Amino acid sequence: MTLLLIGLGNPGARYAGTRHNAGPVVLRLLAEELRFGGWARGVAGSFAEGVYGGRKIVACTLDSYMNASGPAALRAIKHVSPGAFCIVHDELDLPLGSIRLRERGMARGHNGLRSCIATLPERDTFWRLGVGISRPEFGELTVEEAVALTKASGNALARLSTKGVDRSKDGAVTKHVLSDFSRGNLEVLRQVTLPSMYIALDTLLRAPQQ
């Protein structure tokens, strides 16, 4: 079975390292660590292939803007014809270092997911993996702090992710989401997020084919 991982983000150097591009950023880190082949341009984006757990994994970073992710994701899926696919996206309401894997659900305000739900034949019943980027109220998290948060229960994470959130500060949130990951953030992604990604991959590879 081939598993296709599709990272949602905005194209171009301006957005490449932003928190909103957490999906592509994490996929590139994963491909580097698992020693995938080089990235190559293809239908709807850039692709890299490798093997994990004896299964073929294809990572894809789309060349469309976030709001138009659905049509690009559909083209990528038709191009690869995978046994299963998973949409990888940024998750503002999860602390940096945490991930959340879901088999179905609504967009929850995420424009990229909204576009996918509106376009893909599966509608809202496809795997999606949210990569925590933290709200700006969290500030900078160290690796140790991020590890502690990943060990918190689901209810605790829900309380932490909304603690002190001022929903009126949308401008600050937008600025935060479109700002680049710091060097420390990237270290958290490498040391904390990636190990959780392997657990998610194991789950996806065991799941019934879509």
Catalytically active residues, by annotation: 20
- 89 in Cβ contact with 112 (< 8 Å): yes
Q: From start to end of the chain, where are the E strands?
A: 2-7, 40-42, 45-52, 55-62, 84-91, 99-102, 127-132
Q: How many CB atoms sit inside 10 A of residue 155's CB?
A: 8
d(CA 210, CA 202): 16
With 0-12 / 13-18 / 19 or more C-beta atoms within 10 angstroms meaning exposed / middle / buried, residue 38 is exposed
d(CA 155, CA 161): 10
